A and B are shown apart, each in its own frame.
Chain A
Amino acid sequence: MNKTNKGKKAVILGLVALLAIFTAACGKGDNASSKGGSETETITLNMMHPWTSPNVDNEVYKARIAEFEKQHPNIVIKQDGVPSAQYKTKLRTLAAGNNLPDINVVWPGADLDPLVDGNLLEPINDLMESWTSILPESALAGFNVDGKQYAVPTKQTFVDIIYYNKEMFAQIGYDTFPDTYDKFIDAVKKLKEAGITPISLGNKEQWPLQSSYISIIGDRFTGSDFLPAVLEKKAKFTDPEFVKALSVIDELTKLGAFNTDANNMDSVQGQDYFIQGKAAMHISSSTVDARVRINNDEGDKFGIALFPSVEGGKGEPAKSAGVVQYGIAIKSGLNEKKRAAAEEFLKFFVSEDLYKELIRNGVVVPAKVDVPEDASKYLKEMLELTGNGTAPVFDSVIPTQVVDVLQNGLQALTVKHGTPEELAKEVQEAFDNMN
Chain B
Amino acid sequence: MQTLRGTKFAIFLGLFPALIIYLGIAIVPIGLSLYYSLMNWNGIGSMSFAGLDNYVKILSDDTFWLSVKNNVIIMVTGLVGQIPLGLLLALLLNRGLKGSGIFRTIGFMPVVISSVMVSLIWGMVYNTEYGFLNSLLGMIGLDGWQQNWLGDSKWSMLSISIAYIWQNCGLYMVIFLAALQNIPEEVNEAAELDGATGLKRTLRITIPMVRGTIMVGVVYSISNSFRVFDLIQILTGGGPAHQTEVMTIYMYNSAFINMRYGYGSAVSILVLLFSLIVISLINRLGREKDA
A and B touch in the complex (CB under 8 A): yes
Question: Which A positions have Cβ atoms within 8 angstroms of B?
Answer: 88-89, 92, 95-96, 114-115, 117-120, 203-206, 259-265, 269, 278, 400-401, 404, 408-409, 411-412, 414-415, 417
Contact among A118, A404, A408, A414 with B44 in the assembled complex (CB-CB below 8 Å): A118
Q: Are A204 and B44 in contact (CB under 8 A)?
A: no
Could you pull out 11 A-B pairs where Cβ atoms are within 8 angstroms? Answer: A96-B43, A114-B43, A117-B44, A117-B45, A260-B151, A263-B236, A263-B239, A264-B236, A408-B241, A415-B151, A417-B241
Residue of A nearest to B130 (CB): A278
The reply to whether A206 and B256 form a contact with Cβ atoms under 8 Å apart is no
Stretch at the interface among B121-129, B179-187, B283-291: B121-129
Stretch at the interface among B169-177, B190-198, B257-265: B257-265
Interface string of B25-67 (1 = CB under 8 A from A): 0000000000000000011110000000000000000000000
Which residues of chain A are near B126, meaning CB under 8 Å? 264
Return the contact of A404 from the options B148, B237, B240, B257 (Cβ within 8 A): B257
Instruction: Write out the residue numbers on chain B whose beta carbons fall within 8 Å of the beta carbon of A400.
Output: 257-259
Residues from chain B with Cβ under 8 Å of A96 in the complex: 43-44, 261
B153 at the interface (CB under 8 A from A): yes
Q: Which residues from B are CB-within-8-Å of A260? A: 128-129, 148, 151
Secondary structure call for the A interface:
helix
Query: Chain B binding site: helix, strand, loop or mixed by DSSP?
Result: loop
| Chain B: CB-nearest residue to A278 | B129
B104 on the A face (CB < 8 A): no
Kindly state whether residue B75 has any CB partner on chain A within 8 Å.
no
Interface size on B, residues (CB 8 A): 29
Contact of A261 among B151, B260, B261 (CB under 8 A): B151
Alpha-carbon gap, A265 to B128, bound state (A) = 11
How distant is the Cα of A269 from the Cα of B128 in the complex, in angstroms? Answer: 14
Inter-subunit contact B43/A206 (CB<8 Å): no
Q: Which residues of B contact A (CB under 8 A)?
A: 42-45, 123, 126-129, 148, 150-153, 235-237, 239-243, 253, 256-261
> In whole angstroms, how far apart are the Cα atoms of A5 and B236 in the complex?
53
A414 to B257, CA, bound (A): 23
- Docked complex Cα distance between A123 and B241 (Å): 39
- Nearest-neighbour CB distance to chain A for B86, whole angstroms, equals 28
Kindly state the separation between the CA atoms of A401 and B242 in the bound complex, as whole angstroms. Answer: 15
- Complex Cα spacing A206 to B236, Å: 10
**Are A205 and B237 in contact (CB-based, < 8 A)?**
yes
Does B153 contact A264, Cβ atoms closer than 8 Å?
Answer: no
- Bound-complex Cα distance A262 to B150 (A): 10
CB distance from B138 to the nearest CB of A (A): 14
Residues of chain A with a CB closer than 8 A to B239's CB: 203-204, 206, 263-264, 408, 411
Interface centre among A120, A206, A263, A409 (most CB of B within 10 A): A263
Chain B residues whose C-beta falls within 8 Å of the C-beta of A119 in the assembled complex? 45
Q: Which A residues are CB-close (under 8 A) to B260?
A: 401
Q: How far is the CA of A362 from the CA of B235 in the complex (A)?
A: 32
